[in-house]
Amino acid sequence: MKIAAANSAPWNIAESDNGGMPRLIRYRTDLAPFIASSDYPQRLVIIWEYDADNLNGMPSTEQSETMKSFEDALVETLDSDRLAVLAFVLTCNGSREWHYYINRVDEVGLRINTALSEFPKLPIHLQVENDPEWEQISLVYQICGV
């Protein structure tokens, strides 16, 4: 069994409260059989911090559209051959995070730079963490009752 492409995989959205602000988690429901895959021992988190012009901490319509274009470009460049697997996206209180499971950090970095060349300077930063057991998506599944 192979991991499906992010743009054809089933996704769910869960909403919770984070100190009076909404927290949205969009997550893939098809990754449970792949948890702890040795092919993807690290997790890349791409964090986009934005000014929330409203009282609920969510991005504006314009920001959401730019983030959608950004995500589509990332999925196309990272997921087309499953170099990286987009597992979930967290939006809350002026921040959106894309969580990818990855293997080859150097190749992922090169592809991200290529994808970002199409965009103006974006307010993002990246961090890579070891997560060989896929603990973060497992926690999302636990919280969401998967």
Chain segment 91-115, per-residue pLDDT in tens: 998 999 999 999 899 999 999 998 8
User: Domain 11-144 class?
Assistant: alpha beta
For the ranges 7-16, 52-61, 99-108, 135-144, the lowest mean pLDDT is seen at: 52-61
**Residue type present at position 16:** S
- Above 80 in pLDDT, residue 53? no
Q: What are phi and psi of 106, to 5 degrees?
A: -60, -45
Nearest-CA neighbor of 122 among 66, 58, 60, 59? 66
Q: Which two tokens stand for residue 51?
A: 């000014």
- Give the Cα separation of 95 and 80 in Å (integer): 26
pLDDT confidence tier of residue 52, bands split at 50, 70 and 90: confident
| pLDDT score of 56 more than 90 | no
40 close to 101: Cβ distance less than 8 angstroms: yes
Q: In 3D, which of 51, 62, 61, 48 has the Cα closest to residue 123?
A: 48
SS3 content of the chain, % helix, strand, coil (to 5): 30, 35, 35
pLDDT surpassing 80 at residue 55: no
